[in-house]
């Protein structure tokens, strides 16, 4: 069996003359969480639907644990769960009935279905709410239910399209916790979102899409290192009374590109990898250093630098 959970080879999907997904190659190891980000219309949903066998590509192939989406979609559907970005139009059902309906679709025998419904309600914090009607659920509970139905057949691979969309901060935190639990269970997860701090927190790897192309992918730490190689940003904190003197000194220092105040820090940008000369200047001038650290490039900064804002 393949060691990769997902192998995407040259996958292309075209709508009329629009290349929604344009020759994407990507491999995801078993147990990894891949965060997929990109501007509106980048092609994320299209790619997730292709992975989930809900659309056929024009070119290329995807293998899920070794099975091809072209040759063996039925096998893939047994081991993959897709959570769509939209809930659709639920009929007049209770949470329990809704989950039972999906359990039937996956041909889970009745006795086991009851057990699975309990398990997925437990996992998604819907425990004890089986009798509540689906219509009228809050956005938070609706998203929980969508995730619960995605998990009903205990899939190894999870494809989640914007699961945190519309959630309030507490519900978002809870959802992150659920995704982390699923990752700890060993599941391979592909998750798209526009909420970059969430993606940053839960992903092992990041894929950035724009205009159908995968413009960047890799482990977050490697992406940060790449980003750092181009410029070094240092977060410096000195005592409040010495901040303006330090700013003045460093702004004039050879090798410093810029020194700006981002309260309470001074952010020093340099293209010299060894930053000891900055420390030396501060010590020479007897400025007390309270904090001196690399300013970690956030996913948002990496995203802004990798995308150009093209609209399809």
In the complex, the residues that contact ligand ATP under the rule CB under 6 A are 15, 18, 20, 38, 40-46, 312
Q: Return the number of the residue (44 or 176) whose C-beta is nearest Mg ion.
A: 44
Size of interface with Mg ion, in residues (CB under 5 A): 2
Q: Return the number of the residue (39 or 155) whose C-beta is nearest ligand ATP.
A: 39
CA nearest to 184, candidates 202, 205, 208, 164: 202
Give the residue, chosen from 11, 39, 42, 45, that forms a contact with Mg ion under the rule CB under 5 A: 45
Please check whether residue 76 is in contact with residue 69, taking contact to mean a CB–CB distance below 8 angstroms.
Answer: yes
The 8-class DSSP code of residue 295 comes to -
Alpha-carbon distance of 22 to 118, in angstroms, equals: 41
Contacts of 143 (CB under 8 A, 6+ apart): 163, 164, 165, 166, 167, 171, 175
Please check whether residue 130 is in contact with residue 114, taking contact to mean a CB–CB distance below 8 angstroms.
Answer: no
| Binding partner selected for residue 87 from Mg ion, ligand ATP, none, CB under the kind-specific 5 to 8 Å limit | none
Q: Return the number of the residue (152 or 196) whose C-beta is nearest ligand ATP.
A: 196
**Both structure tokens of 82:** 């897709």
Q: Return the number of the residue (1 or 311) whose C-beta is nearest ligand ATP.
A: 311
Q: Does 193 bind Mg ion (CB under 5 A)?
A: no
Q: Find the shortest distance in angstroms from Cβ 47 to ligand ATP.
A: 7
Alpha-carbon distance of 110 to 115, in angstroms, equals: 9
| Binding partner selected for residue 312 from Mg ion, ligand ATP, none, CB under the kind-specific 5 to 8 Å limit | ligand ATP
| Binding partner selected for residue 83 from Mg ion, ligand ATP, none, CB under the kind-specific 5 to 8 Å limit | none
Q: Find the shortest distance in angstroms from Cβ 202 to ligand ATP.
A: 18
């Amino acid at each position: 069996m393949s060691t990769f959970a997902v192998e995407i080879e040259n996958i292309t999907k075209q709508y009329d003359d629009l290349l929604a997904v344009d020759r994407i190659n990507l491999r995801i190891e078993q147990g990894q969480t891949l965060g997929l980000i990109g501007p509106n219309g980048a092609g994320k949903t299209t790619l997730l639907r292709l992975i989930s066998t809900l659309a056929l590509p024009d070119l290329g192939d995807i293998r899920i644990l070794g099975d091809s989406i072209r040759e063996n979609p039925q096998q893939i559907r047994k081991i993959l769960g897709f959570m769509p970005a939209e809930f659709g139009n639920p009929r007049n059902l209770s949470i329990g009935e809704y989950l039972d309906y999906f359990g039937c679709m996956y041909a889970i025998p009745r006795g086991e279905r009851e057990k699975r419904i309990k398990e997925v309600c437990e996992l998604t914090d819907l425990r004890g709410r089986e009798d509540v009607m689906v219509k009228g659920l809050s956005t938070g509970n609706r998203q929980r239910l969508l995730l619960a139905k995605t998990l009903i057949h205990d899939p190894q691979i999870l494809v989640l399209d914007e699961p945190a969309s519309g959630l309030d901060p507490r519900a978002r935190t809870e959802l992150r916790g659920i995704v982390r639990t699923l990752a700890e269970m060993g599941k391979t997860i592909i998750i798209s979102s526009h909420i970059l701090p969430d993606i940053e927190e839960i992903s092992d790897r990041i894929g950035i899409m724009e205009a159908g192309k995968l413009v960047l992918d890799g482990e977050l730490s490697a992406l940060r290192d790449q980003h750092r190689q181009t410029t070094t940003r240092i977060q410096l904190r000195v005592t409040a009374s010495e901040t303006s003197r330090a700013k003045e000194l460093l702004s004039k220092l050879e090798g410093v590109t810029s020194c700006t105040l981002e309260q309470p820090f001074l952010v020093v940008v340099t293209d010299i990898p060894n930053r000891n000369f900055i420390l030396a200047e501060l010590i020479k001038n007897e400025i007390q250093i309270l904090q001196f650290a690399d300013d970690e490039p956030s996913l948002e900064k990496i995203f802004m630098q990798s995308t150009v804002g093209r609209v399809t």
